[in-house]
Every structure is written in C-alpha cells, then in structure tokens.
Amino acid sequence: MLDKSIPYYNILMLRKCGKDLPHYELPKGYSFVSFLPGDEEKWAEIETAVGEFDSAVEALSFYRKNFLCYPGGAERRTIFIQTAEGKKAGTATSWWNYIGPKRIPTLEWIAVKPEFQGLGLGKAVIYEGLKRMQLIEGDRDIFLHTQTWSYRAIKVYLDAGFEFIKASSFGSYKNEYEQAIPYLEEKLEIKLK
C-alpha cells in the first residue's frame, strides 16, 4: 500500500546486467500465471487496491491505452501471482521505456493487494519479473521507476540488486533523487548517501 503521508518524488533505479538472479520460491498455494485476455480488469483491481489509481475504471483505461495496444505484449510481459482459488494477488510487468531513441527494459507496475502483503509475494513477483525480462531481452541493464510513497518496496528493490540513479533519467520521468533521499532515509531507517 502506498504511504501518501509523505511528499511524492520520482525515484529511478537500475539493475546492472551481469548480476546473478537469486531464485525465490512462492509460498505454498500460490503460483505465477501469465496475462490472458480479460485479465486487464484484475490488473486494474490490484493497482487500484494499492492506491496507484483512484478508480478501477481509471486503471483499466490506462492499461488498455498503454499495454493492450501492443498485440501479444501483455500476454508475454505481464504476470500475476494467483492463489489456489484462482484469485489474482499481485502483478508485475516486464515492459520497456526509452532513453532518447534507445529502447530499454523496465520492470513496471509491481503490486500486491494489501490483504496478501507481508507474505513475501512482492519479492517473488519482482524476481519472476526480472527472470522473464532476461528471457525476453537477454542479460541487459533493467530500469525501474518508483516513488517515495513506495518506500517499503524500495528496500526490496535494493535487495534485488537495483541501485539508485542519482542524476540521469529515462522515459519522461524527472529524477528527484536528492529530494527523495531524506524521506527514504527516515522511513527505511538507513543511510543511503
């Protein structure tokens, strides 16, 4: 769940190629499943539940506009964590963005519904997203955009081998590293500089 009690600042991260990718098991009763047509509604439900969108209608519109317009892209690049009962508990998308004209791999829209948080599902979906990204793109640098409101997830990203991008940017994101660091250090209770 996002913590909107602190200011919002963009945080950009990079996981450099060549790093080993640890294996991380899902808890018993959960499995990874790929996106199937119609799952955009489940994606919208998850992202709305964590506070990324104000409504599922808004989230659904976003997903359709940004992902479904690429035939086969969602099926290949969006994954879910599913319960034994078939409920979608979390998601991640191994997509792309740009630095100038160069297309770069990005891990995006990582979320676990609040009622499933604290079970290690976030870490699992990040590692699975990275693994699938390497299968699709090869062993390349992988970028990630997040924000101060997601400081709990940032600890997991750091553990997964991501580093802060301190000055440069990608896509249309503004790099607000300097503004974000004091809030992250306070919330994570660690020194980052």
**Do β-strands 78-83 and 30-34 pair in parallel, antiparallel, or remain unpaired?**
antiparallel
Residue-level pLDDT at 156: 93
Residue-level pLDDT at 70: 92
Where do the domains of the chain lie? 10-188
Gap between the Cα atoms of 58 and 127, Å rounded? 28
Closest CA to 77 of 48, 41, 108: 108
Measure CA 45 to chain center.
15
Residue 62 CB burial class (10 angstroms; 0-12, 13-18, ≥19)? middle
Read off the pTM: 0.94
Residue-level pLDDT at 180: 97
Residue-level pLDDT at 192: 80
Domain 10-188 listed as CATH 3.40.50.2300: no
Stretches where the chain sits below pLDDT 50 are none
